[in-house]
């Protein structure tokens, strides 16, 4: 066995990665095979070649004969007849040649997700796309630099400065959601569409919050919330493997009954304030209806949600956002929770341009009150409403959270190749 070494030699021709070898996609059945990977000497016993694609057991004396040390990268050459297939990759009985490619100057101790989760992300997303296309939806792409990233008062976007042609600087934003552009497509006749998009929100960092995450949104023109609910249930069954018979269905009013309060569409702010005080939440005197509702919801309702899948419907009218109101006066809106975590938010979409502008003006006032960045109303979006947005249903779903729970994890960092905080190590 020879041992050629230089500091950083190029890779020889015809070398397989461990993944290519393990999947046997292109490995020869006879002759010599060269494969690269990172050596783990294991204190001289049971040496292996390892990477995220698999592992290859080496002869017991490999490290001793070559002088290899753990974490160095090597290319080894062996006869195909000396390669034994095993679970995960295989074993080499005898090495013909070994070439050291890199020797690490430092060791890394990064708390990243396991390779199984990192590599499962792509197939998971692809399964979503395949499923939605089978249900007749078409994939589209919308801009990632926008004039209006979304008007929700609770959300703060990331701003981007763009140098213009005549020396002027334009201020654009990273989208908090692709909703406004997708609805413009709806108005132009693209009636069954979806997009999976990276979106950005200045938010707290928790086990289930990251400033950058992936949003799945789909919309159906000439549809209502019932069709979106059918889509969602079918996706949960086929992609997340949830038994849809286990999905519990309830309303916001029913959830509030656990606090001893009968919530109504016309419930007044003073009534919510008294409820909050009775629950020991000490509301601020400046809190309005939405603030009080959010205070009670986060402190007393969400923590008591069941772990099983849950559909919640009929939100208070002030929580309608871009949803229309139903005949009972509730916002025709649905949220999906799993293990007590919000995963998706669906609307029977508001398509009245006059009412939508009124809501945007109200949202702008709340943004200023909350100290958020004031945002110009997206007049292209408004024009599409005025042109005529058909009656539509739509939904936004957090793909990262669904993937996290579907793989049995409780923290986003356990399923992402690089969590946000990794950049600031």
**148 in the same domain as 88:** no
| Beta pairing partners, 89 | 55, 86
Question: Quick one: CA dihedral 246, 139, 211, 107, positive or negative?
Answer: positive
Q: Which of 340, 316, 326, 337 shows the shortest CA–CA distance to 226? A: 326
Tokens of 407: 């793989």
CATH assignment at residue 383: 3.30.930.10
**373 in the same domain as 235:** yes
**95 in the same domain as 227:** no
The confidence score (pLDDT) of residue 210 equals 95
**172 in the same domain as 85:** no
Is 268 within a domain?
Answer: no
Strands 32-40 and 212-221: unpaired
The confidence score (pLDDT) of residue 400 equals 98
d(CA 116, CA 361): 47
Query: Number of folded domains in the chain?
Result: 2
The confidence score (pLDDT) of residue 166 equals 62
Q: Which of 43, 75, 102 is the last residue of a domain?
A: 102
**347 in the same domain as 202:** yes
Strands 97-102 and 2-5: parallel
The confidence score (pLDDT) of residue 167 equals 66
**238 in the same domain as 175:** yes
Q: Crossing angle for the helix pair 379-388 and 179-187, nearest 10 degrees?
A: 30
Three-state secondary-structure class, residue 265: coil
The confidence score (pLDDT) of residue 7 equals 67
Q: How many CA atoms lie less than 13 Å away from 47 in the CB half-sphere?
A: 26
**403 in the same domain as 321:** yes
Stretches where the chain sits below pLDDT 70 are 1-7, 24-29, 44, 165-167
Is 191 within a domain?
Answer: yes
């Amino acid at each position: 066995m020879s041992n050629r070494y230089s500091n950083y030699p190029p890779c020889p021709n015809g070398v397989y990665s461990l993944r290519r070898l393990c999947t046997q996609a292109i490995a020869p059945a006879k002759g010599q095979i060269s494969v690269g990977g990172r050596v783990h000497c294991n204190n001289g016993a049971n040496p292996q070649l390892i990477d995220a694609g698999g592992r290859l057991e080496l002869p017991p004396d490999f490290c001793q004969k070559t002088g290899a040390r753990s974490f160095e990268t090597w290319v080894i050459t062996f006869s195909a007849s000396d390669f034994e297939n095993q679970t995960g990759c295989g074993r080499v009985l005898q090495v013909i040649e070994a070439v050291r490619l890199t020797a690490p100057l430092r060791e890394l101790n990064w708390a990243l997700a396991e390779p199984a989760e990192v590599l499962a992300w792509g197939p998971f997303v692809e399964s979503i796309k395949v499923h939605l296309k089978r249900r007749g939806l078409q994939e589209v792409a919308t801009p990632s630099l926008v004039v209006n990233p979304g008007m929700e008062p609770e959300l703060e976007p990331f701003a981007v400065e763009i140098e213009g042609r005549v020396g002027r600087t334009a201020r654009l934003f990273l989208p908090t959601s692709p909703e406004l552009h997708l609805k413009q497509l709806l108005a132009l006749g693209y009636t069954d569409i979806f997009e999976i998009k990276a979106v950005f929100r200045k938010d707290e960092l928790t086990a289930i919050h990251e400033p950058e995450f992936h949003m799945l949104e789909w919309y159906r023109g000439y549809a209502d919330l019932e069709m979106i609910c059918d889509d969602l249930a079918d996706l949960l069954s086929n992609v997340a493997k949830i038994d849809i018979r286990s999905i519990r269905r309830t309303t916001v009013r029913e959830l509030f009954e656990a606090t001893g309060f009968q919530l109504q569409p016309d419930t007044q702010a003073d009534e919510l304030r008294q409820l909050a005080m009775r629950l020991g939440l000490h509301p601020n005197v400046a809190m309005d209806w939405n603030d009080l509702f959010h205070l009670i919801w986060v402190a007393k309702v969400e923590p008591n949600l069941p772990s099983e899948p849950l559909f919640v419907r009929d939100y208070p009218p002030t929580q309608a956002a871009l949803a229309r109101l139903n005949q009972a006066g509730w916002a025709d809106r649905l949220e999906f929770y799993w293990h007590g975590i919000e995963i998706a938010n669906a609307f029977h979409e508001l398509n009245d341009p006059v009412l939508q502008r009124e809501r945007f003006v109200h949202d702008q006032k709340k943004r200023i009150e909350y100290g958020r960045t004031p945002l110009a109303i997206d007049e292209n979006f408004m024009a599409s409403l005025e042109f005529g947005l058909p009656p539509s249903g739509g939904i936004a779903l957090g793909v990262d959270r669904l993937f996290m729970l579907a793989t049995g994890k409780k923290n986003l960092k356990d399923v992402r190749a690089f969590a946000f905080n990794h950049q600031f190590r």
